[in-house]
Amino acid sequence: MKPSLDENQPLFLQIAQIILNEIVEGHIKEGEQLPSENELSSFYTINRATVRKGLQTLVDDAFIYKQRGIGMFVSEGAYQKIVEERQKQFRQNYITPLLEEGARLGMDVQKSSN
């Protein structure tokens, strides 16, 4: 199913996030070629320059790399790097605040009862 794009967020970041999700979910493997800019812009019905900007973001972060005249490919180690970054963000955004609030409320995190 085609993910819908949210007009409230920059489209290029959404394209980058979709590709990262595809890598994490195993739909695109390390070393595999990504769809072309033209294919992505046609599929999502957005400007090719927007797709290029999203892909460049991933190149800048070393998740993918360009082979001139051939296309873009998923970098070796990209999966692990994405997972580690997402685990860190999840910990910062959810687990740490949850544990801090539990401590403020005097909850014992070791107990699993009400």
Instruction: Give the start-end residues of each E strand in the chain.
Output: 64-67, 71-74
Rounded Cα distance between 53 and 76, Å, is 21
Return mean pLDDT, the chain.
92
Residue 108's pLDDT is: 82
pLDDT at 113 over 70: no
Q: What is the mean pLDDT of residues 71-100?
A: 96
Q: What is the mean pLDDT of residues 99-106?
A: 92
Handedness of CA 47, 15, 19, 42 (dihedral sign): negative
Residue 62's pLDDT is: 97
pTM flag (> 0.85)? no
Q: Which residue has the higher pLDDT, 10 or 1?
A: 10
pLDDT digits (tens, 9 = 90+) for 46-63: 999 999 999 999 999 999
